[in-house]
Amino acid sequence: MESLRDCNTSSSTTSTPAFHTLRQARRATLNRVFAAVYSCAILALLYHHAHKLIHSTSLASFFISLSLFISDIFLAFMWVTRQSFRMNQVYRSEFPEKLKEVVNESDFPALDVFICTADPYKEPPMSVVNTALSVIAYEYPAEKVSVYISDDGGSQMTLFALMEAAKFASHWLPFCRKNNIVDRSPDAYFASNHTPCSETEKIKIMYETMKIKVDNVLERGKVDDDYIIGEEERTAFTKWTNGFTRQDHSPVIQVLLDNSKDKDISGHLMPSLIYVSREKSRTSPHHFKAGALNALVRVSAIMTNAPVILTLDCDMYSNDPQTPIRVLCYLSDPKIQSTLGYIQFPQKFHGLNENDIYACEYKYLFIANPAGMDGLSGPNYVGSGCFFRRRALFGGPLTMISPEIPELNPHHVVDKHIQSQPILELAHKVAGCNYENNTSWGYKIGFKYGSLVEDYFTGYRLQCEGWKALFCNPKRPAFLGDVPISLVDGLNQCKRWAIGLLEVVFSKYNPMIFGTRNIGLLMGLAYAHYSFWPSWSIPTTIYAFIPQLALLNGVSIFPKVSEPWFFLYGFLFLGAYGQHLLEFVLEGGTIQRWWSDQRMWMIRGLSCFLFGSLEYLFKHLGIPTTGFNLTSKVVDDEQSKRYEQGYFDFGVPSPMFVPLVMAAIINLAALVRGLTEAFMGRKLEELFVQVFIAGFVVVNSAAIYEAMVLRSDKGRMPIKTTSFSIFLALALYVLFSLTLRN
């Protein structure tokens, strides 16, 4: 098996043009100047708060001043940590055509692809099939590619779908080669404006037939005998006995394609395709996705042990067949190869509606911020679309940690056939649920345990060990994925992130301490910005209720319009939002999507960040919680129609909607009270800031009012949620009013 070192040697023995370039963002200097000015303004604001706090004349005024002080401390902290992304943004370009002219295909390193799925009903098998086929069809030597599917749900329906995909691949791969197809996910290709011809229609009929069979099996909930062809398939499904459940079963490893012998209809070898369902037991911890990935690291080490690993979510298909060649543009550079741990591509999505109402694009998380971290030590790992050096999972660049058996060593050369009995026996052993006991897996080697956000935690820990990373963002997206099309799915996903991030904050690996000590101040602040995301709930909740409740009681808590401090508030607000808008547009966004993005940050602060923080607290107090939830990738037709039309979907009841409705009601009432005061010519100068904040929240809550009052479809706000929220809003108003009077 060729190593990365072999690839380097081939590309560096002669004088060759650069395979990649780097340029710094022109706005970096302006960002630094603005940061200095804005920091002075923040210090002035905190001084103003401290002064008011010291000179409070009553318990109520002290409480309000303290609340605003705490709120602005959190906002200031999050703003400061965010500046780490803006200090040295860089942009990279790769030249894969130049590399192919210099490096022989025979010198390309082998590639293992990991695709993870866990529930056939939330992550449809056809989505897994399309992702698998898109990477099987890479423009890369087939004998060097092995695709591993981790099925943590242990579903025979998923295995059946992949068996059908393996058969279809023998027709799909030659079709893509012959017609120079770029969209190598069949679903994406047939949905595009492809050129119709008899050959295309023939392959499309084959795909639709496969899809019908897979959907029928999924609907039945099992694979009936009439769908099984051949003794080999029948033997594979005998493992699903009556005692086989998704939480308790023995390991299943099935080689569906073997790149040493299986050929397509044109006589070309096809990449290997291996189904893996690790052993599960109700009495053994399984560590969610990180545990599944580590099982794949071990199984793949036994079977192929490629020096490069690509991790993908099951709904994140390849959108560019030359992506591995782009990666080699960096891996074959001897100047950076020794410390290069991984190369992260941005997560981009298809199917976003025009204004991205749920802000699922996450332009900062997946594009702007990684470019800023790339100018430091490299971007964070975001769970999908990432190419790892296998060696990076086994200790730092200078201190390799050897695994417990030599066959798992990243430098081990596999010299047996992947379907030989010794290989399969050892692969089943390392996929066992108790194999990791008394080993370093998940703690010193492999993907890291200790947080629900295993991607963030693993990338962070690898960089603390001394590895560097690169951000590769080509014009044509390398990968495209699905997005949640209901609000509750998007919020549940974000709540899971919030819990995982807090697990990092309250561990010995806190980025403010452990991070800054090991990777430097700016990188530590960058990782701290993410880990403290849930703290957005504190200032958001305070600013969503306290100024408005004070306004309803006719109490002014901000400077008058005629006072100098008012202009400080104006500068801080306009400066933050103006910079946010400018960056968003410069990264290719629109003003409408920027508005959706800032609106969703307010919504998340009052819902998933707040509830994620509470769930983390309850968990550590021993109070039962709902636990880990997958984000559904199943698309409901009515739900999809509402999403395309730009309507928020509140149809699935959730306690996370209650604070949103409460804030909408209280802010609307406060705005009416403030405008009434203005119309009557009283106190407008004193209450202007509070009226503005209430109006800002009301405008951002338009979708909530619409769902509460105007809509009659299934996506409207549940009546029980509205009624309960109104009751709580009234109770909060009464309690606040009594506090002011006392």
Q: Specify binding-site residues for Mn(2+).
A: 289, 313
Specify whether the CB–CB gap between 469 and 340 falls below 8 A.
yes
Residues 682 and 144: their CA atoms lie apart, in Å, by 77
Residues 272 and 257: their CA atoms lie apart, in Å, by 5
Specify whether the CB–CB gap between 626 and 496 falls below 8 A.
no
How far apart, in Å, are the Cα atoms of 473 and each of 175, 352, 367?
28, 19, 8
Specify whether the CB–CB gap between 379 and 455 falls below 8 A.
no
Specify whether the CB–CB gap between 155 and 281 falls below 8 A.
no
Which residues are the active-site residues? 152, 455
Coil, strand or helix at 628: coil
Residues 481 and 350: their CA atoms lie apart, in Å, by 6
- DSSP per-residue string spanning 164-175: HHHHHHHHHHHH
Annotation: binding site for UDP-alpha-D-glucose: 122-123, 152
Instruction: Output phi, psi for 652, to 5 deg.
Output: -90, 115
Terminal-residue alpha carbon distance, the chain: 78
Specify whether the CB–CB gap between 640 and 351 falls below 8 A.
no
For the chain, the residue count is: 742
Residues 82 and 512: their CA atoms lie apart, in Å, by 13
Tokens of 42: 């923040």
Coil, strand or helix at 254: strand
How many other C-beta atoms can be found within 10 angstroms of the C-beta atom of residue 425? 10
Nearest to 168 by CA among 143, 195, 189, 192: 189
Specify whether the CB–CB gap between 658 and 721 falls below 8 A.
yes
Instruction: Output phi, psi for 395, to 5 deg.
Output: 90, 175
Annotation: binding site: 122-123, 152, 289, 313
Instruction: Output phi, psi for 527, to 5 deg.
Output: -70, -30
Residues 370 and 390: their CA atoms lie apart, in Å, by 22
How far apart, in Å, are the Cα atoms of 290 and each of 152, 441, 448, 458, 499?
11, 10, 7, 9, 16
Nearest to 612 by CA among 596, 631, 626: 626
